Structure 1
Amino acid sequence: MGVAVVEQVGSHYVLLDGGNRSGGLSTVRKGIDTRDGSPVAVKFVFGPNGDLSKKVFDREVGALRQLTHPNIVRFRDAGIDETGTEYIVLDWVESNLIDLLESKPWTDWDELYSTFARPLMDGLAFAHLKQLEHRDIKPGNILVDASGSPMLADFGIAKLRGEQAHSELTVQHFRSGVYAPPELDAPAPYVRDIYSMGVVLLQCLTSTQMRDYPEIRPALESVLVPPDIRSLLEACVSPDYLDRPSNGSVLAGEFARIALQRVAREEKSKNPIFLNVKFAAQKHLVGDRPERAAAEARMIADLSGNVFANYGLDRETGRRDPQTVNLFGSEHRYTLKVDEGPGFAVIAAPALDLEKLEGGRRHALELPPVFTWEVRPPAFAQRAADARDKLSTLIDDYYERADHPDTESSGQEGDEVFDLWLEILEARADLGRGEHKPLTFRSVNLDGRRSVFTLSRPIEVDLIGTDWEVTDQQSGRRFGHGEVIDQQSESLTLLSSRPLRGVQPSATLVPYDRPSAIALERQRAAVTAIRNGSTPAPGLRSVLVHPAANGAPVLETIDAWKSDLDAAKRKAVQLALGAPEVLVIEGPPGTGKTRFITETVIQLLNKNPAARILIASQTHVAVDNAVERLLAAGVKRLVRLAGDETAVQPGVRELLLDKQIGRWAESVRARAEAHLATLAAECGVDPDHVRAALTLQQLAGVADELERVEQHAKELRDSWLHDSDLATALAGEDPSEQYQDRIDQLADRKRDLATDAETYLAGALTIPTGIGGAEARAAVEILVGEANGAKELLGRLALQALWLERIGAEHSLAAIYLAGTSVVAGTCTGFLRERAVAALEFDLCIVDEASKATLTEALVPMARSRRWILVGDTRQLPPTDEDLLRATAILSERGLSRVQIEETLFQRLVDHLPEHSKVMLDEQRRMIRPIGDLISTCFYDGRLRSPRSEGLSGYDNIAGKAVTWLDTSTLGERRREQGETSYANRSEVDLLLRQLERIDEGIDFGLIAKPSSGRLEVLAIAPYKRQVEQLRRRLAPRNFKHLEVAAMSVDAVQGREADLALMSVTRSNAQGRLGFLGADYWRRINVALSRARFGLTIIGDAGFIRGTNGALRNVLDYIESHPSDCAVRAVDRG
């Protein structure tokens, strides 16, 4: 009798006979885990060649290791058996969806959704949030356990978002019949899975097995489902991938929303909230002559959207009062008091400006849509009382979660926070793909890397910093791409990495989203790393989820101060050194935020010279200001990171990484040349010829590499043309653009070396155009000749040339250089452009202008550090998100609200950090007191102190008081604006220029004293591009003797300061329309008026402004009520 042979895989798994399953790229056998006797599935991966099976194996193991979810099959182990075959060990699940479809266990959609579809979509959503696309969803890859719960399986051809291609193997075209979408490969991620999921759900609902695409439409029309479910399934299986929900989270959210709406329709009738609108509230709603019916109708309309609720505060104790409920509607805040009957009395309903409304919502619960708001006494009093109790219970639960974040559910709540942030990033990606329409142009002026396009029609949307590509959409030819660095209403200036050549009149400017896609990818990576705890400080996750638990800073002792700081800044620096986690610094204009940053860096390096600090900001200007101060203070080992040196201030460019490495390389080159010159002298060779020979030897190496890269690119293109379906099984991103970038770099380097060689040769030898490697080496031999020692000299030249090219270009040298730095500075997402930075960890990260960064942008630098300081001002301009907020279809599809989009990390921390972790700098020294007091009163609740009082001697007599409003009301119709989409005001331009001339002449005649011998810096500010252009056009021919004038938009002046500021209001119309200056845009007014040190002039129609609401009206009221510091002057009619 034979002895049974036990087949074992790995250390713990014994294979059983029977139960084998086979698929296209694998065989699955049932086994036992000898440690606990549990059944396992051992999957052996094979393919037509070793490379393919290895990649399938690596893909699936990489995917499953990070996917721990109840609806994704559980990964146990992986390895290679003794025959060299890769295997994966998973939980054994007896059945799959194919088996289940034979019995059709679901009677209707509700049962299918609750027991099968919802958990399956949860699993898919989790995979997509982990940036994994399954790409092969079908019944055979959906396992079903004994309880009927589904599990996604077989991630062998899954794709990680942002993954780079490492070989020519792809699975972009790997297909699974009717379950694969008709397109070969959609450019948008995840939509392939959405299509497959839609077909799977249809197959679950229909009794006919679908085998081909024409069978999908009849199945869709015949299944018995609610209309909104049918519409969603139809979108999932649409042949146009743009019609489908964009990922698993959106799909699951849409199905959940439909289910919630159906439940809400049933629940609303059970939860009537009776609201008795009192007289004061009626006045708030409809004015001084209230009418109950009109007030009630307005309230119901205002509460028809998203409603937020919290408890009011007891006026005596300051504690929450459960008897007082605040409701936040679309425009009003309602104060509710528990009434004697079964409802609430509405005792107040003021309309709030957007800032206050959003502030209230941030500290309130968003109510589920299960309540109806009733203004008639309820027919069933008990039902209304129960609804009131339910509302109170929901608010109680909200406060319980907020007050006790360390409960068992806190981990899930934390995941929900990161899920939300990832969802917002996906919305930004959606927007990036379709945010801007193509732009046509009438002409283009090509000037090196700068190209000025005269547009066919004016455009008001701010495009500065966006990237555009010049293409001929008929022929498909691409001329190049670049960043918009200047914009007028009818022209754009594009800065490209290399000159655009041969641009045809038929070409078009189209959005180029690769840079924004890269930035979003960096933000996704940061969010995911923080969520998973894989950052230098794993505790960053808990700080972000529960800021209220942030550790208290210690007030560090400082022996010697580098600069003279006020008490608030000194305390801020001491707390910054002693903060164990995060510290927030609120810095209004002129309070010395950059001086605080400089002193903090200096003191930290004094205490710990080995510390490494990262300084990041949203703008290059802010980064450069900090770097310049650090440089002036004598800080060493300082590196500035930027992709383009033109974006960096001239005084800082020498600190750019490539400049510093270049100087290091040049010093090495100089030493090499000196050594070679000595050898050359011994051989009788001209020293200039040695320099030329060394340069040509470098050129030869570059030419050889260029030829190799071009050949690789050609082979890649050819391989794509001839790949079989299976050989294309595992595609990452298309590397052709990376090849082209390298080809362009090498071509530029080759051209520069040829120019240098010609300079050294001074005509002694002609360098042919397009010289190759062999020709360059031949030229070297001619230059060296056949003198004694020439052979050794040639060998040295070749070796030195190879080394010089490597130190000038090799990535590893950048990493070595950065490892020795103390301070690295760059923009929030741009600093990672240098790959070597990704390997660095920082002891402290300082995010300047943090209030201007989106939440996820701020996380990118923070994810690289152990401690964090955020510096900003919630009352200055926030991130520019108007385009996304206008994209209501995207927000609706992804279930995102305005409050969620507008929340910055800085605002989140200001709202929720303990008081010990927040410092406000309250002394500003930029503006003299009259200007500072206006800013403090109108924008900072009077908290800002302004000790400077000395202005420009004689200024009041010539230009008016330090704060002056030049009122154009006297000009009749000439005071009005011109334009329809962008606005200008010629009269205000005339007055602004006249004011400048008056000041310039006053200085020239000695009537106004300047603070120094140089010119006064002046900002001419306007809220509209068209007005800015008029100012620039009128200023261009003028040559002021004592003034340096810059005309800029309001958005562009944030972070700048000047001696004088003149603001043109621009708007004046009979309709009372303020546009960008309205109540919601009060931060713009704050920015515009807080730039000037000595003199602020506002030019505009004061009568028009008095008839409006908002910040400008408040400013005008302040000026009129403070005649000792300010004045309103009517301009002459003539």
Structure 2
Amino acid sequence: MLDPHVDLPGVVHLVPSLRFVEKLREQRDRYPFLPDVDGIVRDLRDVASRGAVPARIERGRGGRGDFLKLYVDGRYVLNLNVTKHGNGYAIGSAYPMGFEHHDEIVRGALRLRARGWVYHHEIRELPFGIDAGWELLRDRWRLLNESAAAPPGPSAPEAHGEFLDLLDAVIEEGRRAELAAARTDGTIPYRRVDASAARRRSARGVHDFRLIGGRRPVAGTRVHVRAMPELRGRVDDLRGSLMTVRFERPVDAAAIPEAGAFVESPSTIPFERQAEAVRMLRDGESANPHLLDVLAGHRFRPFVPAAVEPARELDASQRSAYHKALAVPDVGLILGPPGTGKTRTIAEIARTCAAARERVLITSYTNRAVDNVLLELPPGLVVLRVGRDDGVTPGCEHLTLEAQAVTLQNEILRRTEPHLRGYAPAEDGQGEADGWLRQLDASLGALRAADQDERRAAARLGERAARLTAPAEDHARRLAGAAAEHQRVLAGHDEDLAALARRIDRAEARARWPVIGSLLRGRAARLAAEHRQGQDERARIHAVLTGVLRDRDRALADARRIRDTSPELADLRRALEEARAVSGERARAAADDAGELRALLHGVPVPPAPEANLPALAAFRDQAAQAVELMRRRLALLNEWRGHLGSRTEQLYPELARYADVIGATCIGTATTGALKGLDFALAVVDEAGQISTPNVLVPLVRARRAVLVGDHHQLPPFVDPRVAGWARDDPRALDLVTRSAFELLFPGVPDGHREVLRYQRRMPPVIARFISRWFYDGFLESDVRRPHRDALFAAPLVFVDTAGLPRRARHERPPRPDERWADTGYANDTEARVIADLVAHYHGDAADWAAILPYQAQVGLVTELLAARIGDEAAAAGVGTVDAFQGGERDVIVFGFTRSNANGAVGFLSELRRANVAFSRPRRLLILVGDSSTLAQARDPAFRAMAEALLDHVRTSGDLRDVREVQTLVAAEGDR
């Protein structure tokens, strides 16, 4: 496919379109997170410094030309039109990015790189003679679309199709098994119901049911009360015959029959999501274009690990995994044995990717594994937890969609509260603003009346003064007219005298000529006499003019005297001054009212403070009325918006997801939450991948452009439905997909560059870690633990409490009896149960963080019952469970009971050694193993027998091997102290 990166020639110059600034202001009123013009300039400058910005060329509506669509920083879109001279782009609009815009980028986009982006306020500021690169962009866009639409090359390898067909078959068989189980497994009767308020962590109703008979659903099973499908929930916990159900909605205990039965509610949603992921792979819609080639063909793309340094200290293997995970182009694998800090490594990978503006998905099969990683992330990241809130582990509740939506709602309500208070004066019909508008209107009415009075008083004064001074002023006007006429005549006379003087000068000059000069002297004399007469006439005219001007001034003085001395005019002037004073006072009062109104205007364009005159105050009133109306509309919109905001949180979910740096969800949860619809991820990190089947892991992988699987196939394998395993038994490939994780299937053939093994464990005491390393990890697991051993009972951190010295009847296993309230499947061992209960009670009193791990549910029920009487129901139920309940966890003290004790060496599913690896690798301080060494060392299963012999030898040489009776005596003695 064509490389989408385009290097633009030089700097890109931008200008606003005709109404862009105004439209941007309107958009920011609706979407406050949109930047202003300066913010857009900063964002583009940052883009230029970081690299490329996605862009598409779109066809304008109504026959308009093509335009450039920029997707800036994953937050908003800019529409750009090339200028007439091709020397820049005009910004037409800016608006928020939605999911559809992310889809557009995924479908195909150019990646523009420029040396800089410069904004000019006017188009005339654009430099001439430069090329904005428009034709280059159009050519590259055309080639990109042609390459995307080109006929497909050779069909995918046949192995790809077979792989996808096999996945579809596995998924379909799982769906059928789910439906068949619901049809044939019958009902789950109960005889009593208790509200389990102490266990409630959310608004959903949680209730305990005492089961009748031997039917026991597994935790997580969807059930509903028979004939009452509205009472639907999930099995939250199962402790013997006590089943806790977490209903989907709050349920009053009175609405639940006192005796009744549950029916399993089959759910095909996981299978539908798995099938959808396969379809996306088949249709080439996976966000990771190399995923199918990796899974079906085990072909990986070469790459160079990143050179970025982690923010936190990592050991050598963690650093290598970190550098590879940041750059892997398809799929990378990290093998994380117990205690090697895989959670820390994942958190650092996620932090670095998020800092680079890459959205990260943290996923796993279990909620606990997801939450362990999220709790490790630094506080600066925007982290979101998606999924059922009843599945979220304690400590992560604040990260859920609902919690963060409520937090965001409260924050929005808090931040908008000042605006609400500010807009409150504009409340329709009853706000302060309306009152001050009415007050200003009244003041302006009074001012207009005073202004009219002032005008009338001025008119009366002017009219009476004109009448009284009219004779003198009329005489003055006539004299002024006569004076003007005399001045005109005088000016004409002066012009004639000047002309006569010039003629005299010429005549006197000619009189000096030889021969004829004597004849011309008479002419000069006559002209001189004429000039003297003219001067005499000018003097006479000037004297007359002076007299006329004097009479005019005398008439004007008479008019002034009349104005100054007339009692009538004096009264009229006093009336005018009084009217002006009233007008000024009322103008000041109106200006004060305008100031009060202006002070109430909030969050809208505020008109300037007016001067204390009628035109300015009237103009202010009109502008203020418009501002109040705008406040009123905003107040109504804000109230409506806050009303919706307070009643619904779901509308915020997509926006929360869109702006999250890291999102955590279970594998299936990534495809069952509407908030993530259409959202893609730069990186998916799958934790505990060693126990996730390929169909399940596909669901998150198809939604991320690349992936890192973190797991350990030496620990628990994927859960296998026996019916599906039986169906796949005759096809090795199908059996692999059913029983082995994608991690286990890939790891042996992954190139070294695509995988890393974490080698340094910091959890277990070295004596435990040495056995784990030698037996399960070929000796490569190293310890970095220097924790001194201190314990009142045992001399070493690894202990084996041996029951082999007891009579067979005392130590023998047994099936559960029907009358036992905890009756369940499997085996129970009374002696081991009592010893384990004694040990746990001791360490519980010692305030140690402990867990009792047992292989069979019957033994879990027996130990829980014994412990409950000593330490309480809740503490016993929380600390006792099977291996599955504790994978991924760790405790100070782990007590493990083998349970099996028989003469023929039968160990059942203890032969699955990976379960032993999980159980043995949980402790931080002390591992106590309780069992019958004779049965374990003589087990019929060769692999288990070899492991048991090696374990016993290791305890003898490096640990503490004790007879059960000695231990019981020690515990009793400690209890008496």
TM-score normalized by the length of structure 1: 0.49
Q: How far apart, CA to CA, are the structure 2 residues paired with 1:1023 and 1:612?
A: 40
Match for residue 343 of structure 2? 594
Q: Whole-Å Cα distance in 2 between the matches of residues 835 and 556 of structure 1?
A: 34
Report the counterpart of residue 435 of structure 1 in structure 2: 181
Distance 1:486 1:581 in 2: 38
> Cα–Cα, structure 1 residues 970 and 604, in superposed 2: closer, same or farther, change >3 Å?
same
In structure 2, list runs of 5 or more residues that go unmatched.
1-152, 198-204, 432-627, 817-824, 969-977
* Cα deviations by residue, 1:298-344 (Å, 9 ceiling, x for unpaired): xxxxxxxxxxxxxxxxxxxxxxxxxxxxxxxxxxxxxxxxxxxxxxx
Task: Name the SS of the counterpart of 1:555 in structure 2.
Answer: coil
Q: Is this contact kept in 2: 1:590–1:927, CA < 8 A? A: yes
The structure 2 residue matched to 1:567, chosen from 308, 311, 316, is 316
Helix, strand or coil for the counterpart of 2:388? coil
Letter of the aligned partner of 1:1058 in structure 2? Answer: R
Offset of residue 671 of structure 1: 4.7
Q: Quick check: which one's helix share is greater?
A: 2
2:854 is matched with which residue: 1022, 1028, 1040? 1022
Amino acid at match of 1:1036: A
Contact 1:1082–1:1110 at 8 Å: present in 2 too?
A: no
Letter in 1 for 2:158: Q
The alignment partner of 1:878 has SS state of coil
Other-structure match for 1:654: 398
| CA distance 1:497–1:812, change in 2 (3 Å) | closer
Deviation at 1:988, TM superposition (A): 0.9
Task: Write the distance in 1 (CA, Å) between the matches of 2:788 and 2:831.
Answer: 28
Per-residue deviation, 1:807: 7.8
Map of 1:484-499 to 2, 5 A cutoff? 484-499=235-250
**Residues 894 and 830 of structure 1: is their aligned pair in 2 closer, same or farther, counting only changes over 3 Å?**
same
CA–CA distance in 1 between the matches of 2:883 and 2:327? 37
Q: Which residue, 914, 918, 921 being the options, matches 2:751?
A: 914
Question: Displacement of 1:1000 after TM fit?
Answer: 6.7
Cα distance change, pair 592–884 in 1 and its aligned pair in 2 (3 A): farther
Secondary structure of 1:824's counterpart equals strand
Would you say the 8 A contact 1:460–1:982 is kept in 2?
no
Task: Give yes or no for contact 2:159–2:297 (8 Å, CA) kept in 1.
Answer: no
Name the amino acid aligned to 2:165.
D
| Gap change, CA 1:553 and 1:1033, over 3 Å in 2 | farther
Residue 923 of structure 2 corresponds to residue 1092 of structure 1: yes
What residue number does 1:413 align with? 159
Residue equivalent to 1:786: none
- Structure 2 distance, partners of 1:896, 1:849, is 22
Map residues 43-442 of structure 1 onto 2, 5 A cutoff.
Answer: 411-436=157-182, 437=185, 438-442=187-191
Match of 1:469 in 2: 224
Aligned residues of 2:829 and 2:899 also touching (Cα < 8 A):
yes
CA, structure 1 residues 686+588, in 2 after alignment: closer, same or farther (shift >3 Å)? farther
Distance 1:684 1:861, change over 3 A: closer
- Counterpart Cα distance in 2 of 1:551 and 1:985: 53
Find 2:363's aligned residue among 592, 607, 616: 616
Partner of 2:909: 1076
Matched residue type, 1:1128: L
Is the 8 Å Cα contact of residues 459 and 489 (structure 1) preserved in structure 2?
Answer: no
Q: Residue 670 and residue 575 in structure 1: after superposition, are their counterparts in 2 closer, same or farther (change >3 A)?
A: closer
Check 1:820–1:505 CA distance in 2 against 1; reply closer, same or farther (3 A cut). closer
Task: Summarize the alignment of residues 494-533 of structure 1 with structure 2, pairs less than 5 Å apart.
Answer: 494-501=245-252, 502-504=255-257, 507-514=260-267, 517-533=268-284
Give the letter aligned to residue 639 of structure 1. L
State the match for 1:340 in structure 2: none
| Secondary structure of 2:329 counterpart | coil
Q: Which has the larger radius of gyration?
A: 2
Cα separation, 1, equivalents of 2:904 and 2:897 = 19
> Does the 8 Å contact 2:353/2:359 carry over to 1?
no
| Residue of structure 1 in register with 2:410 after alignment | 666
Q: Find the residue that maps to 1:583 and give its secondary structure.
A: strand
- Does residue 978 of structure 1 match 2:814? yes
Q: 1:947 to 1:1111 in 2, by over 3 A?
A: farther
Native 8 Å contact 1:533 1:539 kept in 2: no
Q: What does residue 175 of structure 1 align with? A: none
Partner of 2:308: 558
Q: Counterpart of 2:697 in structure 1: which amino acid?
A: A
Cα separation, 2, equivalents of 1:1093 and 1:893: 43
Going from structure 1 to structure 2, the CA distance change for 1:983 and 1:459 (only over 3 Å counts) comes to farther
Aligned mates of 2:180, 2:259 — CA distance in 1: 22
- Contact 1:676–1:793 (CA<8 Å) still a contact in 2? no
- Distance, in Å, in 2 between the alignment partners of 1:674 and 1:540 is 51
> How much is the aligned-residue C-alpha RMSD, in angstroms?
3.3
**1:450–1:816 Cα change, 3 Å:** closer
Query: Within the alignment, does 1:827 sit opposite 2:666 as a pair?
Result: yes
Q: Secondary structure at the match of 1:435?
A: helix
Q: Is contact 1:934–1:1115 with CA below 8 Å preserved after alignment?
A: no
In 1, the alpha carbon distance for the partners of 2:274 and 2:161 equals 16
Q: List runs of 5+ in structure 1 lacking aligned partners.
A: 1-406, 688-788, 1004-1014
Deviation at 1:537, TM superposition (A): 2.6
The answer on whether the counterparts of 2:834 and 2:863 sit within 8 Å (CA) in structure 1 is no
Name the CA distance, whole Å, in 2 between partners of 1:627 and 1:648.
11
Alignment correspondent of 2:945: 1113
Paired with 2:707 and 2:426, the residues of 1 have a C-alpha distance of 60
Alpha-carbon spacing, 1:977–1:660, altered in 2? closer, same or farther (3 Å): same
Change (3 A) 1:550 1:987: same
- Call closer, same or farther: CA 1:418–1:1037 in 2, change over 3 Å: same
Task: Return the structure number with greater relative CO, CA threshold 8 A, min gap 6.
Answer: 2
Is contact 1:638–1:823 with CA below 8 Å preserved after alignment? Answer: yes
Q: CA 1:551 to 1:671, structure 2 compared with 1: closer, same or farther past 3 Å?
A: closer
Once the two structures are TM-superposed, the CA of residue 1084 in structure 1 deviates from its matched residue by 1.1
1:64 matched to which residue of 2? none
8 Å contact 1:555–1:575 — kept in the other structure?
yes
Classify the secondary structure of the residue corresponding to 2:965: coil
* Structure 1 residues 807 and 426: CA distance shift in structure 2, 3 A: farther
- Determine if contact 2:351/2:381 at 8 Å carries over to the other structure: no
1:540/1:892 CA distance change after superposition, 3 Å: closer
1:1104 aligns with 2:935: yes
- Preserved contact between residue 446 and residue 500 of structure 1 (Cα < 8 Å): no
Structure 1 residue 452: deviation in Å?
1.7
Report the CA distance between 1:976 and its aligned residue: 1.0
Q: 1:1039 deviation in Å?
A: 4.8
Using the alignment, how far apart are the partners of 1:680 and 1:579 within structure 2? 56
Shift of 1:1115: 4.1
| 1:603 and 2:352 aligned | yes
Looking at structure 1, the residues matched to 961 and 947 of structure 2 have their Cα atoms a distance apart, in angstroms, of: 11
The equivalent of 2:890 in structure 1 is 1057
Q: Report 1:681-760 matches (<5 A).
A: none
Question: What one-letter code is carried by the residue in structure 2 that aligns with 1:1057?
Answer: E
CA deviation string 1:971-1017 (max 9, x = no partner): 2111012215422212112212333455578x6xxxxxxxxxxx321
Whole-Å Cα distance in 2 between the matches of residues 1056 and 1106 of structure 1? 28
Give the drift of 1:849.
0.9
* Distance across 1 between alignment mates of 2:318 and 2:162: 37
Q: Distance in 2 between matches of 1:808 and 1:834?
A: 20
> TM-score with structure 2 length normalisation?
0.57
**1:614 match: secondary structure:** strand
Aligned position for 1:989: 833
**What amino acid sits opposite 2:688 in the alignment?**
E
What SS class does the counterpart of residue 369 from structure 2 fall into?
A: helix
2:472 aligns with none
Q: Structure 1 CA distance, aligned partners of 2:795 and 2:644?
A: 63
Who is 2:799 aligned against? 964
Q: Which amino acid aligns with 1:1033?
A: E
The 3 A distance-change label for structure 1 pair 459 and 662 is same
Per-residue CA shift, 1:412-431, capped at 9, x if unaligned?
22111001101111011001
% identical aligned pairs: 29
Aligned with 1:933 (options 761, 770, 791) = 770
Q: Is the 8 A contact 1:848 1:872 kept in 2?
A: yes
Secondary structure in 2 matching 1:970? coil
Alpha-carbon distance change, 798 to 919 in structure 1, aligned in 2, over 3 angstroms: closer
Aligned: 1:456 with 2:212 = yes
